[in-house]
């Protein structure tokens, strides 16, 4: 099945809008790097987006945490703060803590 040109543009625009405005911070400042640095930043950002999409499709615990936090930006902010402040043995422990089913995580010293 071949998509029409407007449909392809819409998909491309929505993807770049997500990468720019929903926490991935893909912006024009990536063009200021030395040699291949800017391309590496873009590849890492797209890789993070891919991992996020796979988690949403395949991980019921991630989807449950997303329902609890209501927005992806709030979910990632909560994950980041727990990662920085608490001793987290795994991503599963962080997500269980966010939905209220996990063991208490001890504070980092």
Report whether pLDDT(75) > 80: yes
* 3-class secondary structure, 99: helix
Contact 105, 82 (CB under 8 A): yes
Q: Between the ranges 17-21, 33-37, 99-103, where is the mean pLDDT highest? A: 99-103
Domain map (residue ranges) of the chain = 1-57, 59-109
Cα separation, 14 vs 28, in Å, equals: 17
Q: What is the pLDDT of residues 34-68, one digit of tens each?
A: 677 777 888 888 898 898 889 889 999 999 999 99
What mean pLDDT do residues 67-86 have?
87
Give pLDDT, residue 28: 62
Cα separation, 42 vs 19, in Å, equals: 10
Give pLDDT, residue 32: 58
Residues with Cβ within 8 Å of residue 16, at least 6 apart in sequence = 26
Residues in a beta bridge with 86:
107
Higher pLDDT, 18 or 44: 44
- H-only helix segments in 31-90: 37-58, 60-69, 72-85
Q: What is the pTM of this model?
A: 0.66
pLDDT band at 20; cut points 50, 70, 90: confident
Cα separation, 42 vs 8, in Å, equals: 21
Q: What is the average pLDDT score of the chain? A: 82
Residues with Cβ within 8 Å of residue 27, at least 6 apart in sequence = 20
């Amino acid at each position: 099945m071949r998509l029409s040109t407007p449909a392809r543009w819409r998909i491309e625009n929505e993807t770049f809008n997500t990468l720019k405005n929903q926490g991935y911070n893909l912006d024009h400042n990536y063009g200021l790097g030395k040699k291949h640095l800017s391309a590496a930043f873009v590849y890492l950002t797209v890789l993070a987006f891919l991992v996020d999409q796979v988690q949403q499709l395949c991980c019921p615990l991630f989807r449950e945490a997303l329902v609890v936090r209501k927005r992806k930006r709030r979910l990632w902010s909560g994950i980041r703060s727990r990662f920085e402040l608490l001793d987290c043995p795994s991503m599963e422990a962080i997500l269980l803590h966010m939905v209220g089913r996990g063991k208490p995580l001890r504070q980092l010293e």
